[in-house]
Amino acid sequence: MELVSRLLGGFFNLFEPLFRAGQRWLGFSRLGWLFVAPNLIVFGLFTFLPIVINFVYATTGGVKLYPFDRPFTGMENFGILFECRDYFDIRTCRKDVFWRAMINTAQFSVIQVTLMVGFSLVTALVLNRKIIGRGFWRGVFFYPVLLSPVVVALIWKWLLQTQGVFNAGLVAAGSTPVNWLTEAHWAFSWTVFVSIWAHMGFYTLILLAGLQAIPKEMYEAAEMDAAPPWRTLTRITLPLLMPNLIVVLVLAMIRAVQIFDEVYVLTGGGPGSATTFIVQFIYQTGFAEQIHLYGLAAAASLVLAIGLMALTIVQLRITKASSAGQRAR
């Protein structure tokens, strides 16, 4: 311990002169830049710059890695993505897998977020009650969140394989085994389930914290007015929980749209393209296919980013409107 505080002290002393000099040079108000600098440098180099490079990729063609070696093609990649003979039939599109991925992602996001937030809410409400060993139960739901996506996917792949324990149960119950991961609708349902299993604990905690922050007086007042439970839920609990709910919904939606790791290991995007989501499409186009179509992958990623931003804005507007509406009532 003594050694640690000595080391820390030493580290601190290293930088002090630097900052004193900075303070004198930059003046007090601009000192903030010095503090923000390391973060900004790393961020600029490894996040912002790649985004800019992505734009360059999206507007060039060919298969070379270095942006400057690539021939400029303007909006050609976007044209390829959006080229369809019949806009109502995906199969006539040139990049039909891209559109399938978009639709899959949209369906997945809506279903998964709704179900997951629903379960998280119910769980948080249950955990909010006077129960024995609340800390333990909280931990139970949170444990899968700590597991890596690869581990999660492997566990479930193991359970769901044709000769795995689920089918054993089915056979024991007298029915026939099901190819869980090679039937399109089952594979899709299982990706929804597995991602809920792996992530709901996190959102449960946020909602639980929100619930516990609601002062008890609110409930006591309601009880004194002999308010029916449904009323208490919708008039008191949910409105007060709204800020946390918004955070949860937005975060969950962002993460749902970006899902990749678990699904890639669990189903590989199969069967066919039933569980191919948009990030996997981008990864496959840019990395996994032998002829790397970096330009197309970059164009697809830009479409995704724009879509995601629009979605988040819409989501925030809707939830703000509904919570404002509720308060007005």
With respect to another protein, which residue has the nearer C-beta, 41 or 110? 41
The residues in 182-201 that bind another protein, with binding defined as CB under 8 A, are 182, 184, 197, 201
| Identity of the amino acid at 211 | L
**Residue from 82, 106, 115, 128 that binds another protein (CB under 8 A)?**
128
**Residue 72, strand partner residues:** 60
Smallest gap, in angstroms, from Cβ of residue 92 to another protein?
Answer: 9
DSSP single-letter state for residue 291: S
- Cβ-proximal residues to 291 (8 Å cutoff; 6+ apart), any chain: 63
Q: Does 233 bind another protein (CB under 8 A)?
A: yes
The residues in 21-50 that bind another protein, with binding defined as CB under 8 A, are 23, 29-36, 38-40, 42-43, 45-50
With respect to another protein, which residue has the nearer C-beta, 305 or 324? 305
Q: Does 84 bind another protein (CB under 8 A)?
A: no
Q: Does 271 bind another protein (CB under 8 A)?
A: yes
Residue 112: C-alpha distances to residues 107, 119, 189, 262, 275 (Å): 8, 10, 9, 14, 13
Tokens 């056979």 correspond to 171
C-alpha span between 321 and 20 (Å, rounded): 48
**Residue 93, strand partner residues:** 84
Smallest gap, in angstroms, from Cβ of residue 40 to another protein?
Answer: 7
Q: Does 232 bind another protein (CB under 8 A)?
A: yes
Burial of 175 (0-12, 13-18, 19+ CB in 10 A): exposed
CA angle 315, 316, 317 (to 5 degrees): 90
Q: Does 323 bind another protein (CB under 8 A)?
A: no
Q: Does 5 bind another protein (CB under 8 A)?
A: no
C-alpha span between 247 and 316 (Å, rounded): 9
Smallest gap, in angstroms, from Cβ of residue 308 to another protein?
Answer: 5
DSSP single-letter state for residue 292: -
The residues in 288-317 that bind another protein, with binding defined as CB under 8 A, are 288-294, 297-298, 301, 304-305, 308-309, 312
Nearest CA to 287 out of 65, 102, 104, 93 is that of 65
Smallest gap, in angstroms, from Cβ of residue 283 to another protein?
Answer: 6
The residues in 146-175 that bind another protein, with binding defined as CB under 8 A, are 146-151, 154-156, 158-159, 162-165, 167-168, 171-172
Q: Specify whether the CB–CB gap between 142 and 204 falls below 8 A.
A: yes
The residues in 85-104 that bind another protein, with binding defined as CB under 8 A, are 91, 94, 96-97, 100
Smallest gap, in angstroms, from Cβ of residue 141 to another protein?
Answer: 6
Smallest gap, in angstroms, from Cβ of residue 225 to another protein?
Answer: 13
Nearest CA to 136 out of 146, 148, 127 is that of 127
Smallest gap, in angstroms, from Cβ of residue 171 to another protein?
Answer: 6
Q: Does 282 bind another protein (CB under 8 A)?
A: yes
Smallest gap, in angstroms, from Cβ of residue 121 to another protein?
Answer: 9
